[in-house]
Amino acid sequence: MPIPMGKSLLSSAAVVQKGGKHVTQEHIARSRKEGASDVEIHDTVLIAAAFCMFNRYVDGLGTWAPSDRMFYVKRASARAEEGMPIMILTTNGTIP
């Protein structure tokens, strides 16, 4: 991906944080001018919107994240080797 195209797509992704209607025809035209296809523009906006939704979702659930970076460093090799654990809950919230 050429750098100007990447910058124009990132510019569009950044305004998605404010709301989808903030992506203007100018953003789209600039991305097209730099060589981005309609699919690339679509995917950029979709991915940015999904991240916004996921962040709001976890914030709304009151989740937390460890502030100590070493928490993640220590777990990295196990996650790479084993993958992410999957927890299945029954409809009443218990683990089968």
Per-residue pLDDT, 90: 58
The region that residue 34 occupies, defined by phi over 0 for left and psi between -120 and 50 for alpha, beta otherwise, is alpha
Structure tokens that stand for 18 in this block: 């404010």
pLDDT digits (tens, 9 = 90+) for 45-81: 999 999 999 999 988 988 888 899 998 888 888 888 8
Contact 50, 18 (CB under 8 A): no
* 36 pLDDT above the threshold of 60: yes
Quick one: CA torsion of 57, 63, 67, 68, rounded to 10 degrees? -110
Q: How far apart are CA 14 and CA 23, in angstroms?
A: 9
